[in-house]
Structure 1
Amino acid sequence: MTDPADRSSGDTTPEATSVATPEAASPRTRPPRWWLLLGRDRGAAVAAVILGLVFLIALVGRLFIGDRAIRQDLKASLRPPSFDHGFYGLLGTDVLGRSVLARLIEAAGTTLYVAVPAVLCSLLIGSALGMWAGYHGGWRENIAMRTADVILSFPSLLIAVVVLYVFSPSALNIVLILAVARIPVYLRTARAESAELRSRLFVDAARTFGTPSRNIIYRHILPIALPTLLTVATLDFCFVMLTESSLSFLGIGIQPPDVSWGLMVAQGRQYLQTAWWIAVLPGIAIVLTTVSATVLAAWVRLATDPAQRWRLTLPKKRRGARAAVSPEVIA
């Protein structure tokens, strides 16, 4: 018979193994959730809240203001911001007695109606063409890159000014012009990512097993290139919104009775000394939205990069001092 002591010493059951090596049985530490990482960065959290409020106001704000953005009341012309004239008189009125607050809400929807579709169209078309050209290379890549160079040789604002001067200014024309003008930005970015990834081992393995090129691009290249493309899209959103505001300020963008933040600045510039709120408040809205998008884009770039995400787990004061230190050294 076997001695009980010998049996206990040779026991290899899961229970004995778990007791002998508790580290092996401990669950793997999961990375922090994105909202927890966002909460640790106050600047990015504030930027996300501001952008969320802007999009919420643009989506549902028009349901509450009715026609107050275009309703005229000459008796209430150029009233300063005050609590004495009701909620919609909180930010004052313009020269025609229209509520500046209602017009800001209406203009938010118009500005985002132009900026968001333009960015999405250029992102989808440019990314698809860039990854296709970068993966296949050869003449496809040469044609795509030379086309991008031709478009980039003309400033996008200059193209918009010329085209809108020839054709009638409208929101649809602005979206189409800005979308076409910004396609090369995503095409060049996606081409660079795809050209670098096509020589990776996992792409070669998928190609060896006969996987079609479109599936390789969609399943293997797109998930890796997507964080970079989304970061570029967030920054490009700022550029497109500023371009639309510039065109409206020059008088060839959004036309009355529609209203945008840039058009409000243009309409209020002659009243800067007597009624500063007409032009300053939409200018502040433009600055807050663009700065918030820029700050959030920098945070998203770190949060979506597995090699850089560990920086967001450090306290704010220690990130700069340990920016070049690897996670293993910190641990």
Structure 2
Amino acid sequence: MSSTDAKSTHLEAADARYKTQQAAGAEPHVQVRSPTRQALQRLRRDRAAVASAIFLLLLIIISILAPVLAPQDPIEINLGQRLAPPATQGYPLGADDLGRDILSRLIWGGRVSLVVGFSAVLVAMVLGVLVGLIGGYFGGWLDSLIMRLIDILMAFPAILLAIAIVASLGPGLRNAMLAVSIVGVPYYARIVRGSVLSLREQEFVYAARMIGVPVFRILIQHVLPNCLGPLIVAATLDVGWMIMMAAGLSFLGLGAQPPTAEWGVMLSQGRQFIRIAPHISIMPGAAIFLVVLALNLLGDGLRDAMDPRLRE
């Protein structure tokens, strides 16, 4: 039997089953999977993304339970254990120049860094989405003005712009968080604007206009949901970037201030002991590296899961 005959036989059998179901009054069973479920199934097959998600979930749980899990007070000074190496009794990861437990400071520092990263991304995304929706939907001179302002912000290197903002506002964790958020706004605005420019010409948007749906409702209920895919991927990648930038500001003395347990502060305080006690800098540096790597792997996995064409 040739392949053509086999295919014809298969189609005839399927047609016979369909007619039998119709005669019995039953609807043919058609399995339809939602795009979200398909994306989740593709994400589960990405081992690196799944491992990264598990690692980040454990880190979040540890950070939430920092008051319970941290073996010591992160700012308690014990000069008797000054520069204690790792594996010292009571100091699994060693102690810093003031005898403070590095493990406890890492746990509390993770809490601070995650709050800064997620909060900065949330603020930047809300502002960027608002700006992108308005500019992309209305167009005209308003869109041109918004895009020129965004181009001006993006013309500066991100870290230099953040340093300039913090320098004008004054050093501190809140000001560093605000600076990092402002730096991230243009990227979200561009993502949303690009999506809105293609969506505003779609038939469902025209239909909503014709029946008198308010503009705000069109943007929130019809346009914004179709932009969520790129936004989720960008936000996942940006959390790591903002954690790293906030740590950089703290390292320069513009972010969190001592004795706050924050990874950038720990790096800054350990640099002068890098030769005699390298573990003071290695531990927070490794923590930043692992968190940023996990967030990047998860973001790449989400991007491939939501748009499989990018794999090719």
Q: Normalising by structure 1, what TM-score? A: 0.81
**What are the within-5 Å matches in structure 2 for residues 1-331 of structure 1?**
17-18=20-21, 25-30=28-33, 32=37, 36-65=41-70, 68-82=73-87, 85-86=89-90, 89-305=91-307, 308=308, 324=312
* Equivalent residues of 1:62, 1:105 under 8 A apart: no
Q: Deviations over 1:216-242 (max 9, x none)?
A: 111221111111012111222222111
* Equivalent residues of 1:248, 1:262 under 8 A apart: yes
For structure 1, which segment, 35-44 or 229-238, has the greater mean C-alpha deviation from structure 2 after superposition? 35-44
In structure 1, list runs of 5 or more residues that go unmatched.
Answer: 1-14, 312-319, 325-331
Kindly provide the amino acid, as one letter, of the partner of residue 157 in structure 2.
Answer: P
Distance change in 2, residues 1:28/1:168 (3 Å): same
Distance change in 2, residues 1:220/1:302 (3 Å): farther
Kindly provide the amino acid, as one letter, of the partner of residue 60 in structure 1.
Answer: L
* Equivalent residues of 2:75, 2:261 under 8 A apart: no
* Equivalent residues of 2:125, 2:185 under 8 A apart: yes
Q: Which has the higher contact order (CA 8 A, sep 6+)?
A: 2
Kindly provide the amino acid, as one letter, of the partner of residue 113 in structure 1.
Answer: V
- For the residue of structure 1 that corresponds to 2:74, the secondary structure is coil
Whole-angstrom CA distance in 1 between matches of 2:146 and 2:285: 38
Q: Deviations over 1:246-305 (max 9, x none)?
A: 111112221111121111111112222222211011111101111111111111123334
Whole-angstrom CA distance in 1 between matches of 2:188 and 2:306: 18
Kindly provide the amino acid, as one letter, of the partner of residue 279 in structure 2.
Answer: W
Whole-angstrom CA distance in 1 between matches of 2:26 and 2:287: 53
Distance change in 2, residues 1:52/1:144 (3 Å): same
In structure 2, list runs of 5 or more residues that go unmatched.
Answer: 1-17
Kindly provide the amino acid, as one letter, of the partner of residue 69 in structure 1.
Answer: P
Whole-angstrom CA distance in 2 between matches of 1:200 and 1:207: 11
Q: Deviations over 1:3-61 (max 9, x none)?
A: xxxxxxxxxxxx98328799963351536566654432210111101111222222221
Distance change in 2, residues 1:162/1:128 (3 Å): closer
Kindly provide the amino acid, as one letter, of the partner of residue 211 in structure 1.
Answer: V
Whole-angstrom CA distance in 2 between matches of 1:16 and 1:204: 40
* Equivalent residues of 1:91, 1:100 under 8 A apart: yes
Identity, % of aligned positions: 34
* Equivalent residues of 2:109, 2:263 under 8 A apart: yes
Q: Normalising by structure 2, what TM-score? A: 0.86
Q: Deviations over 1:106-132 (max 9, x none)?
A: 111111222221110110011011012
Whole-angstrom CA distance in 1 between matches of 2:168 and 2:206: 50
In the other structure, the counterpart of 2:11 is none
Whole-angstrom CA distance in 2 between matches of 1:135 and 1:40: 37
Aligned residues: 294
* Equivalent residues of 2:205, 2:222 under 8 A apart: yes
* Equivalent residues of 1:170, 1:255 under 8 A apart: yes
